[in-house]
Structure 1
């Protein structure tokens, strides 16, 4: 579970990893730990030569309302540098606290699926 604070000391919400045998799944919760949205990743997160999208869905997983994407930045950048480009697409009228939690989810997804080493932590 990732706790997101904004401003520091004030809990905006949480990102909770859900167990699934095949797909990366997360739940976005508010400060009261009530479920708000789901994030569902692809079966394979290698992203070789293409973007990797994690869909932001309603709680029933029937409607997609946005996505968190790791953009393919080219062979040279992916092999010879440690940089990554991410994008978050959500409805403009989504509560600002939920947008802050989505940024936290983006950092968590990067750490879990795209960083090769945890030596720096």
Structure 2
């Protein structure tokens, strides 16, 4: 996918501006070799048309980890960190690296999405446990605005674990980056 010509404060996140869905696959790509990924866990991130928008690598720790997300030019655009904590399941998201944009934290059977100021902006709650479908809602909303779910219909990467997140196109790009972090926390790492 070519980078859209969008006026945004964070040019590395311009790829997210026109999107309403992101699909994360645990699959290695030739681009992973260019950025020096060797023994790490690799992800390739697509839009809903099957066009590659990002690649990511997970640097594994015992209970903590860091996921670095790169654009197709090899520039790091998002960093997702899970700090070490025995009882807390959460990730912190920087986009671009060095600029904290928000976090996702598990609270019993739901997840709270907060912005850079710590204000809760979205809730994520499981809708269908056996189908791995999670609804995303605004804090004060009743109707879902998106979902995090397992994907089976991405022909480019058949046979691998795919998770996707959908959201409104008009959602701000920082919140889209945090929802990508939620997709890593809930989908790719939990199941």
8 Å CA contact 1:4–1:104 kept in 2: the answer is yes
Matching residue of 1:4: 93
Tell me if structure 1 keeps the 8 A contact 2:123–2:137: yes
Alpha carbons 2:149, 2:164 under 8 Å: kept: yes
Deviation at 1:68, TM superposition (A): 1.0
Pick aligned residue for 1:104 from 181, 184, 189: 181
More strand by share: 2
Unmatched runs of 5 consecutive residues or more in structure 2: 1-89, 154-158
Q: For 1:44 and 1:64, locate their aligned partners in 2 and report how far apart those are by CA, in whole Å.
A: 16
The count of aligned residue pairs is 98
Give, in angstroms, the shift of residue 87 of structure 1.
1.8
Structure 1 residues without counterparts, runs of 5 or longer: 74-80, 115-121
TM-score (norm 2): 0.47
Kindly report structure 1 stretches of 4+ aligned residues shifted beyond 4 Å. Answer: none
Cα offset for 1:56?
A: 0.4
The answer to whether structure 1 residue 64 and structure 2 residue 144 are counterparts is: yes
Q: TM-score, normalised by structure 1?
A: 0.71
Q: What is residue 123 of structure 2 aligned with on the other side?
A: 38
Which of 1 and 2 has greater Rg? 2
